[in-house]
């Protein structure tokens, strides 16, 4: 019989439970002369020690321009992880087949569900939003354009927030999807917060559109703090997004609607 899975674990490097990990980071130090290299590697080793790696070894260092150095450090940590203490957020809605999504929309709305998607501000990375919206889809699943009862408007990249809000009003969008990949100085958080504030400030015939944000650096737990209804992280598929939209906008009889606020 297979042995029971351990409850308390340590990282694996060379052998089981040896606690060895590899981390990478950049420091604002040059890596030019012999003296500069020695100082840079010493700084990296000191930082790794303060992070709890003991012993720590700098296994790679490379200058990035005249003033920065990238490091890879290999070391041992003494920390343990108790799997019983790990909290994993569960999905609050069922995954639905395309036919069930269409049935729910017809029964709940009696019309097409209108989805507006864009990358806002200076973000020009459309791979994520296209993977969710375009017919070709992602991970073997067709995008929202393939759903019979959905009408998708993909605005593409670098869309100004006022233009996004105006188009959402013109299209009478039920949901607005924004995808943000640029994360320097938390640009993705500022963008999501800006869209949420703009949608909340606009006037709507019935209710403001559901606001969904996605991108590889978003934490789903950030949704309430950013003013958005739902956040999807890396690995999200079109089916997940479609299932959430019908869960939030066309609930089954007796269910509680989720997301979307009343218009001003």
Just list the catalytic residues. 136
Helix or strand run (H / E) with residue 100? helix 98-108
Closest CA relative to residue 61, chosen from 46, 51, 72, 47: 72
Phi, psi for residue 204 in degrees, rounded to 5: -130, 150
Phi, psi for residue 234 in degrees, rounded to 5: -65, 150
Helix or strand run (H / E) with residue 176? strand 175-179
Sequence-ordered list of residues with C-beta below 8 angstroms from that of 251, at least 6 positions apart, any chain: 108, 257, 258
How many CA atoms lie less than 13 Å away from 152 in the CB half-sphere? 22
CA dihedral 236, 241, 247, 250 (to 10 degrees): 180
Rounded Cα distance, 186 and 225, in Å: 14
Rounded Cα distance, 196 and 83, in Å: 36
| Gyration radius (Cα) of the chain, Å | 24
């Amino acid at each position: 019989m297979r042995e029971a899975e351990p409850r308390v674990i340590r990282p694996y490097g060379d052998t089981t439970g040896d606690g060895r990990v590899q981390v990478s980071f950049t420091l604002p130090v040059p890596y030019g002369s012999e003296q500069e290299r020695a100082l840079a590697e010493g700084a990296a080793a000191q930082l790794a020690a303060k992070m709890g790696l003991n012993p720590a070894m700098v296994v790679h260092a490379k200058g990035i321009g005249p003033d920065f150095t990238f490091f890879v450090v290999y070391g041992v940590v003494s920390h343990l992880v108790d799997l019983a203490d790990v909290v994993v957020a569960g999905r609050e809605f069922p995954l639905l087949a395309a036919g069930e999504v269409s049935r729910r929309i017809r029964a709940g709305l009696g019309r097409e569900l209108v989805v507006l998607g864009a990358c806002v501000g200076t973000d020009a990375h459309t791979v994520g939003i296209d993977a969710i919206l375009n017919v070709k889809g992602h991970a073997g699943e067709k995008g929202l354009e393939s759903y019979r009862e959905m009408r998708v408007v993909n605005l593409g990249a670098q869309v100004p927030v006022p233009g996004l809000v105006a188009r959402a009003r013109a299209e009478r969008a039920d949901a607005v999807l924004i995808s943000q990949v640029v994360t320097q100085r938390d640009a993705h958080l500022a963008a999501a917060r800006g869209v949420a504030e703009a949608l909340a400030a606009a006037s709507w015939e019935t209710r403001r559109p559901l606001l969904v944000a996605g991108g590889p650096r978003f934490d789903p737990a950030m949704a309430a703090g950013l003013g958005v209804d739902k956040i999807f992280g890396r690995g999200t598929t079109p089916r997940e997004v479609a299932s959430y939209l019908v869960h939030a906008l066309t609930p089954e009889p007796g269910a509680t609607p989720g997301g979307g606020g009343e218009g001003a």
